[in-house]
Amino acid sequence: MSVMKKTKQKKYTKKYKICVIGAGHVGLVAAACFAELGHKVICVDKDKKRIVELKKKIIPFYEPDLEPLVVKGLKSKGLVFSSSLPEAIKKSQVIFIAVGTPPKADGSADLTAIGNVAHVIAKNLNSYKLIVGKSTVPVWTGKKIKETIHRYKNNSNDFDVASNPEFLREGKAIYDFFYPDRIVIGVESERAQEMLKDIYASVKAPIIVTDINTAELIKHASNSFLATKISFINAVSKVCDLAGADVEKIALAMGLDKRIGKDFLQAGIGYGGFCFPKDVEAFAYISKKLGYDFGLLKEVKAINEKQWFSYVEKVKEHLWIVKGKKIAILGLSFKPDTDDMRFAPSVDIVKAFIKEGAKLCLCDPQSLGEARKEFPASGGKKNKVKFTKDPYEAVKGADCLCLLTEWGEFKELDLKKVKKLMNYPLIADGRNMFDRDKVRQIGFGYIGMGK
């Protein structure tokens, strides 16, 4: 393994014809950003409707700053969209695989889409190609891709397989692409290494060059470690609740120790999204399969799942009778600046309140489309679910304001106005976003997570 040093850096200037397979969060962002770096990019997806819309500059999900990049790429023709995978493969020198790896019932990653793509690549290998895994995958996926292509290719054209895991966060994806903490490339040949260094030449970040297995494991280990940090502080928050201590001060003091670091020590209702929950499980699964029982990760998951449950219990305890009470839910996405509600703790919390017979008004700046699909407003007359983008509308007549996602606009709320609008002034702060003392001064009851 080596870290590329600036002094040794040779000039990497080549631009490539790149195919990005998958126009989801990882693929579409990578495609738009590679085009911005000057490469010629074809972004392919089997979802024809998505491709038709992308050609019309309609972005399928909310991601700040993505739309202007896509528009710019389309205008310059550095970025094109296609639903023909064979054609896109044939036209490209480098192929990034960014298809989904959803969780299976047993916790393992479903690699069907990757297997299918490898097969199509094999059948369309009309020249040397570098095939790069970008999706988060269990260790040995690169090896399997290589075996599949060898098995099904019907000519003598050469190819390389590499791993280049993506570390971008939803909501900050464009920034993370251009300013990453590191770029990891797992390769088996000098040629593949040089090509990937060319591709990322204008992104200033340390490059970690390693073998493919190690690169794949770096991604699983990184996500699982971050999830562990969150579950650790959430476990501490439980002790704080019992001891009457303040988890925020503990996180602040712990985080100032450079060996610990301040990030990912925010206690709350737990992590969600399409990455941490599935990756923690998939890493535990593959470790077990390899012969190591990663019990720590099972506990990380268990702590996370208890967080939303104990939040609901706290609210129930304060409201005493939940049936018929009006609850305003502020925030549905798994974190701010995204409309993504996949595996969001809000989904479990809303379902729990519906089951209790509460009347809910759901509010989120971006996720209402997703929310309407998840909770059709048909829970019977008594449990009718309402939706609004306006937080002041949501809290009207409410007996409790449940803050589940720390969106910027919720931080700016005029709490005196909120108090006047509510039937009973109670804030259940699932993200420890509000200043507890200030909120209490205004006259609210306050429920925090470990404070």
Q: Which residues form the interface with ligand UGA (CB under 6 A)?
A: 136, 166-170, 223, 226, 230, 264-266, 268, 271-273, 275-276, 334-335
Q: How far is the CB of 334 from ligand UGA (least distance, A)?
A: 4
Nearer CB in complex with ligand UGA: 30/319: 30
Interatomic CA distance for residues 165 and 135, integer angstroms: 6
| CA distances from residue 99 to 20, 133, 376 in whole angstroms, order as listed | 9, 9, 29
Q: For 299, phi and psi rounded to 5 degrees?
A: -70, -40
Interatomic CA distance for residues 205 and 6, integer angstroms: 10
Q: How far is the CB of 314 from ligand UGA (least distance, A)?
A: 17
43 assigned to active site: no
Distance of CA 253 to the CA centre of its chain: 27
350 DSSP β-pair partners: none
Nearer CB in complex with ligand UGA: 74/329: 329
Q: CA 320, 444, 406: angle at the middle one, nearest 5?
A: 95
- Contact by Cβ (8 Å): 427, 403: yes
| CA distances from residue 129 to 141, 146, 161 in whole angstroms, order as listed | 18, 12, 9
Q: How far is the CB of 102 from ligand UGA (least distance, A)?
A: 13
Interatomic CA distance for residues 451 and 430, integer angstroms: 11
Strand ranges in 240-353 using DSSP code E only, listed in sequence order: 326-330
Q: Which residues contact residue 395 at a Cβ distance below 8 angstroms, ignoring those fewer than 6 apart? A: 328, 330, 361, 401, 418, 421, 422
Kind of pairing, strands 207-210 and 183-186?
Answer: parallel
Interatomic CA distance for residues 59 and 280, integer angstroms: 29
Nearer CB in complex with ligand UGA: 159/200: 200
Nearer CB in complex with ligand UGA: 92/266: 266
Q: How many CB atoms lie within 10 A of CB 187?
A: 25
Nearer CB in complex with ligand UGA: 159/407: 407
Nearer CB in complex with ligand UGA: 27/78: 27
Give the 3-state secondary structure of residue 439.
Answer: helix
Tokens representing residue 44 in the block = 């392919």
Closest CA to 413 of 391, 428, 431: 391
Kindly name the residue from 19, 43, 240, 275 that is annotated as catalytic: 275
Lookup result for tokens 């992590």: 271
Q: How far is the CB of 261 from ligand UGA (least distance, A)?
A: 11
Nearer CB in complex with ligand UGA: 36/170: 170
Residues carrying an active site annotation: 275
